[in-house]
């Protein structure tokens, strides 16, 4: 199975992504790292610890990451996922020991330890931790096989501003540096995640699952549904498990780090354009088979519930 490190800011769609990863035998989750995003990092760290424990995988280490974006002193968060980031659904605390290593260092430690070109870094929050790891040791960072990122809105409007998607807007500099880090990128922005719409029937099916996972997950989704019924963060994980569900276009992608109105905007140049600032560095995902995605997720969450 594929080794991954999952960097996240749970976050309700992050919670679904994390559960999908832990429920998929194709994936071997080496570590989970947390970052400020939907909520500040103390909260996303605690949420990630509780979610990993909920899935029965408290053996997977969870690391605390960056408090603020590269060029700011305070996080840029949102309230889409509620004050606590999980829609008010209270999960039991994890009994796992609290890891002392910071996320960026932990990412480098795993990349140094695992064979070169075997670990995929999956990032579903602002890219601060990855950018810090890259700055600390670019050579070790480039041992990653690829980056699978939820972020950006290349050919569609943003969700925080007309120009920008939340994860890129929250730390544009980190996003731009990571896209140019020299590791192949699979980009799952709003171009594709706007098609990953969860339905009331799907929500009911999750709520009806036996075991400890279905009820809290459906409680979270119900809270989130009203704000944003899109399954953004599960997309990169679903692609790793079932790539045939997605289609993508290679592009050269950069992130606006300076604009007055367009900070965090993802700009993509297709191969036909002669004005690209560099070679193609990302596969920009543009479509998903939504029913296939919902079936896969329901299936995997069910299998975890029956374990």
Q: What does the DSSP 8-state code read for residue 201?
A: H
Which two tokens mark 162? 């007309």
Applying CB under 6 A, does 294 fall inside the site for ligand BDR? no
Q: How do strand 27-34 and strand 185-188 relate by DSSP bridges?
A: unpaired
Handedness of CA 123, 127, 129, 130 (dihedral sign): positive
Whether the bond between 11 and the residue before it is cis, its omega within 30 degrees of 0, is yes
With CB under 6 A as the contact rule, the residue among 45, 110, 166, 269 that binds ligand BDR is 166
With CB under 6 A as the contact rule, the residue among 18, 127, 131, 150 that binds ligand BDR is 150
Applying CB under 6 A, does 124 fall inside the site for ligand BDR? yes
- Closer to ligand BDR by Cβ: residue 38 or 286: 38
With CB under 6 A as the contact rule, the residue among 3, 11, 65, 172 that binds ligand BDR is 11
Applying CB under 6 A, does 165 fall inside the site for ligand BDR? yes
Applying CB under 5 A, does 11 fall inside the site for Ca ion? yes
Residue pair 38/81 in contact by the 8 Å Cβ criterion: yes
Residue pair 61/32 in contact by the 8 Å Cβ criterion: yes
Strand partners, 15: none
- Closer to Ca ion by Cβ: residue 129 or 252: 129
Applying CB under 6 A, does 233 fall inside the site for ligand BDR? yes
**Strands, E assignment, 39-129:** 62-64, 119-123
Is 232 a known active-site residue? yes
Render the burial of 121-144: b for 16+ CB within 10 Å, e for the rest: bbbbbbbbbbbbbbeebeebbebb
- Closer to Ca ion by Cβ: residue 171 or 205: 171
Percent of the chain as helix, strand, coil, to the nearest 5: 35, 20, 45
The interface mask with Ca ion, positions 209-248, x = CB under 5 A, is ------------------------x---------------
Could you say which of 81, 232, 260, 285 is catalytic?
A: 232
- Closer to ligand BDR by Cβ: residue 108 or 179: 179
With CB under 6 A as the contact rule, the residue among 38, 218, 263, 286 that binds ligand BDR is 38
Which residues within the stretch 156-175 sit at the binding site for Ca ion (CB under 5 A)? none
With CB under 5 A as the contact rule, the residue among 14, 145, 171, 186 that binds Ca ion is 14
With CB under 5 A as the contact rule, the residue among 3, 61, 125, 152 that binds Ca ion is 125
Cα 184-189-194 angle, rounded to 5 deg: 150
Distances (CA, A) of 126 to 68, 151, 166: 10, 8, 8
Angle, helices 41-54 vs 12-22, to 10°: value is: 40
Applying CB under 5 A, does 17 fall inside the site for Ca ion? no
Binding site residues, Ca ion, CB under 5 A: 9, 11, 14, 124-125, 233
The catalytic residue positions are 232
Binding site residues, ligand BDR, CB under 6 A: 11, 13-14, 38, 80, 124-125, 150, 159, 165-167, 232-233
């Amino acid at each position: 199975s594929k080794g991954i490190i999952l960097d996240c800011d749970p976050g309700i769609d992050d919670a679904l992504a994390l559960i999908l990863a832990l429920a998929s035998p194709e994936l071997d989750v080496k570590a989970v790292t947390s970052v400020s995003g939907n909520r500040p990092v103390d909260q996303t760290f605690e949420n990630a610890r509780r979610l990993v424990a909920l899935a029965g995988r408290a053996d997977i280490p969870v690391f605390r990451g960056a408090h603020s974006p590269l060029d700011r002193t305070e996080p840029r968060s949102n309230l889409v996922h509620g004050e606590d980031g999980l829609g008010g659904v209270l999960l039991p605390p994890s009994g796992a020991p609290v890891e002392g290593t910071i996320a960026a260092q932990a990412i480098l430690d795993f990349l140094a330890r695992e064979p070169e070109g075997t670990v995929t870094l999956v990032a579903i929050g602002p890219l601060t931790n990855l950018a810090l790891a890259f700055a600390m040791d670019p050579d070790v960072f480039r041992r990653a096989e690829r980056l699978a990122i939820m972020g950006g809105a290349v050919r569609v409007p943003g969700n925080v501003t007309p120009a920008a998607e939340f994860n890129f807007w929250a730390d544009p500099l980190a996003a731009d540096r990571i896209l140019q880090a020299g590791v192949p990128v699979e980009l799952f922005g709003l171009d594709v995640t706007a098609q990953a719409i969860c339905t009331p029937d799907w929500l009911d099916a999750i709520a009806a699952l036996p075991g400890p996972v279905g009820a809290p997950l459906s409680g979270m989704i119900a809270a989130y549904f009203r704000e944003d019924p899109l399954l953004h963060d599960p997309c990169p994980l679903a692609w790793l498990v079932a790539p045939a569900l997605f289609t993508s276009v290679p592009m050269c992608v950069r992130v606006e780090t300076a604009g007055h109105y367009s900070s965090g905007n993802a700009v993509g140049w297709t191969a036909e354009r002669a004005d690209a600032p560099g070679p193609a560095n990302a596969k920009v995902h543009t479509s998903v088979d939504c029913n296939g995605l919902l079936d896969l997720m329901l299936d995997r969450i069910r299998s975890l519930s029956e374990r």
